[in-house]
């Protein structure tokens, strides 16, 4: 469980460490606002819910073609510098014996975005959860994101993005299936 008071005190110490006057009018409530902001951005850390529960509502359908959910916007927090990274997720799966409601895939993306994260792990976590819970014939996840730790500090390259993929099942073993997925991405991108 998050400790808002501890986060507030910690941010107050950061401001003092920067040499700021924490009694200045503009900063009086900043530590409290920052702690509330982190509680909002990191909701998955407080989640009592198992992420597998997101995919529990299933529909048994005889559908064996690719299902693609493109352009799922997300915002996450890089665990290395605690700066945001934002982007889009493209998720596809080839059902085994069931499908899930359309909103469930974006909810999975959102769940893994709402914690300190690295893009590579987030990509893998999304794919593995769908694979483990739905047992589809294949899963493909592609994330493209811009990282503030690279655009506003360090190398300072605004506009640069990183792309990560995780391919499982037929997406990994069948070149035609992989190419079809990439066609949808290029169409949507």
User: Exactly one of 81, 128, 144, 180 is catalytic; which is it?
Assistant: 81
* 81 tagged catalytic: yes
Buried b (16+ CB within 10 A) or exposed e, 108-120: bbbbbbbbebebe
- CB neighbours of 121 closer than 8 A, spacing ≥ 6? none
* 60 tagged catalytic: no
Q: For strands 99-100 and 116-117, give the pairing.
A: unpaired
Q: For strands 84-94 and 138-147, give the pairing.
A: antiparallel
* 186 tagged catalytic: no
Q: Which residue has the tokens 């605690």?
A: 82
Cα–Cα distance for residue pair 143/151, rounded to 1 Å: 17
User: Exactly one of 8, 110, 117, 119 is catalytic; which is it?
Assistant: 119
Q: Which two tokens stand for residue 75?
A: 């915002």
User: Exactly one of 128, 131, 144, 149 is catalytic; which is it?
Assistant: 149
Q: Which residue has the tokens 């529960």?
A: 53
On whether 149 is known to bind a ligand per the annotation, the reply is yes
User: Exactly one of 110, 117, 125, 147 is catalytic; which is it?
Assistant: 147
* 119 tagged catalytic: yes
* 98 tagged catalytic: no
Cα–Cα distance for residue pair 115/125, rounded to 1 Å: 12
User: Exactly one of 16, 73, 80, 120 is catalytic; which is it?
Assistant: 80
* 125 tagged catalytic: no
The answer to whether 32 and 69 have CB atoms below 8 angstroms apart is no
On whether 98 is known to bind a ligand per the annotation, the reply is no
User: Exactly one of 8, 78, 110, 125 is catalytic; which is it?
Assistant: 78
On whether 81 is known to bind a ligand per the annotation, the reply is yes
* 144 tagged catalytic: no
Q: Which residues are catalytic?
A: 78-81, 119, 147, 149
| Binding positions for Zn(2+) | 78, 81, 149
| Binding positions | 78, 81, 149
């Amino acid at each position: 469980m998050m400790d808002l008071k501890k986060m507030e005190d910690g941010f107050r110490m950061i401001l003092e460490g920067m040499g700021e006057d924490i009694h200045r009018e503009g900063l009086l409530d900043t530590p409290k606002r920052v702690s509330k902001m982190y509680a909002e951005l990191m909701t998955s850390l407080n989640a009592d819910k198992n992420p597998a529960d997101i995919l529990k509502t299933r529909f048994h359908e005889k559908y064996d073609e690719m299902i693609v959910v493109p352009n799922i916007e997300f915002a996450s927090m890089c665990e290395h510098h605690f700066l945001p990274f934002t982007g889009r997720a493209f998720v596809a799966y080839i059902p085994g014996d069931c499908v899930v409601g359309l909103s469930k895939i974006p909810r999975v993306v959102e769940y893994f975005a709402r914690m300190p994260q690295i893009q590579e792990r987030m990509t893998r976590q999304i794919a593995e959860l769908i694979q483990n819970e739905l047992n589809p014939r294949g899963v493909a996840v592609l994330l493209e994101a811009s990282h503030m730790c690279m655009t506003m500090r360090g190398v300072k390259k605004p506009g640069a993005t990183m792309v990560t993929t995780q391919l499982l099942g037929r997406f990994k073993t069948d070149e035609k299936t992989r190419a079809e997925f990439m066609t949808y991405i290029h169409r949507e991108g």
